[in-house]
Chains A and B, each alone.
Chain A
Amino acid sequence: MATTRILEWLGRCYIVLLLGFLYLPIIIMALMSFNASPFYQLPLEWTTDWYASLWQNDQLIAATWNSIEIAVITTVIATVLGSAASLALYRCDFPGKKVLQALLFPPIAIPWLITGTAMLIFFFGIGIGRGLVAILLGHVALALPYVLVVVSARLQTFAPELEEAARSLGANQWQVTNRVTLPWIMPGVIAGGLFAFAVSFDQFVVSYFLSTPGQTTLPVEIYAAIRKGFTPEINAVSTIIIVVSMALMLLTARFFKFGGEK
Chain B
Amino acid sequence: MADQHAIGSRRGLKPALPLLLPAYLWLTVAIFLPLSAMVFFSFMTDLPLAGREWAFTLDNYAAFFSQSLYLTLLLASLRLGLEVTLWCVVIGYPAAYVLAKVLKGRSREAIFLLVILPFWSNGLVRIFSWAMVLREGGILDTALNAVLPFKINIDLMYSYPAVIIGLVHSYVPYMVLTCYLTLQAIDDSLIEAGRSLGASRRQVLWRVIIPLSMPGLIAGAALIFVPVVGSFMEPRILGGRTGTFYGTVIEDQFVAVFNWPLGAALSFILLAVVLVILAVASPMLKRAA
Please indicate the chain A residues that have their CB under 8 angstroms from the CB of B13 in the complex. Answer: 92, 94-96
Which stretch from B56-64, B147-155, B207-215, B266-274 is at the chain A interface? B266-274
Per-residue interface assignment for chain B, residues 124 to 156, with 1 indicating a CB less than 8 Å from any chain A CB and 0 otherwise: 111011111101011100100000000000000
Number of A-B contacts (CB under 8 A): 298
Please indicate the chain A residues that have their CB under 8 angstroms from the CB of B30 in the complex. Answer: 119, 137-138, 140-141
B250 within 8 A of A: yes
Please indicate the chain A residues that have their CB under 8 angstroms from the CB of B8 in the complex. Answer: 91-94
Per-residue interface assignment for chain A, residues 134 to 161, with 1 indicating a CB less than 8 Å from any chain B CB and 0 otherwise: 0001101100110011001001100010
B115 touches A156 (CB 8 A): no
B112 touches A259 (CB 8 A): yes
Residue of B nearest to A91 (CB): B9
B164 within 8 A of A: no
Please indicate the chain A residues that have their CB under 8 angstroms from the CB of B126 in the complex. Answer: 25-26, 242
- With A86-B2, A110-B274, A258-B116 already in contact, the answer to whether A234 and B250 are too (CB < 8 A) is no
B128 touches A26 (CB 8 A): no
B254 touches A118 (CB 8 A): no
Please indicate the chain B residues that have their CB under 8 angstroms from the CB of A94 in the complex. Answer: 8, 11-13, 16
Please indicate the chain A residues that have their CB under 8 angstroms from the CB of B12 in the complex. Answer: 92-94
B196 within 8 A of A: no
Count of A interface residues, CB-CB < 8 Å: 103
A156: contacting residue among B5, B37, B118, CB under 8 A: B5
A121: contacting residue among B9, B37, B180, B255, CB under 8 A: B37
A184 within 8 A of B: no
Q: What's the Cα separation between A145 and B26 when bound, in Å? A: 11
Residue of B nearest to A199 (CB): B120
Which residues of B from 159 to 199 have beta carbons under 8 Å from A?
Answer: 169, 172-173, 177, 180-181, 184
Which residues of B from 197 to 253 have beta carbons under 8 Å from A?
Answer: 223, 226-227, 229-233, 236-237, 247, 250-251
Chain A residues with CB under 8 Å of chain B are 8, 11-12, 14-15, 18-19, 21-26, 28-29, 32, 39-42, 77, 81-82, 84-98, 100-101, 103-104, 106-107, 109-115, 117-125, 137-138, 140-141, 144-145, 148-149, 152, 155-156, 160, 163-164, 198, 201-202, 204-205, 208-209, 219, 222-223, 226-227, 230, 234-235, 238, 241-242, 245-246, 248-250, 252-253, 258-260, 262
Chain B residues with CB under 8 Å of chain A are 1-13, 15-17, 19-20, 22-24, 26-27, 29-35, 37-38, 41, 47-49, 91, 94-95, 97-99, 102-103, 109, 111-118, 120-126, 128-133, 135, 137-139, 142, 169, 172-173, 177, 180-181, 184, 223, 226-227, 229-233, 236-237, 247, 250-251, 254-255, 260, 263-264, 267, 270-271, 274, 278
If A28-B132, A117-B254 are given as contacts, then 9 extra A-B residue pairs at C-beta distance below 8 Å, sorted by A number, are A29-B128, A85-B24, A89-B6, A92-B15, A94-B13, A119-B30, A125-B47, A245-B122, A258-B116
Q: Which 5 A-B pairs have the closest CB atoms?
A: A93-B8, A111-B230, A141-B30, A122-B34, A88-B19
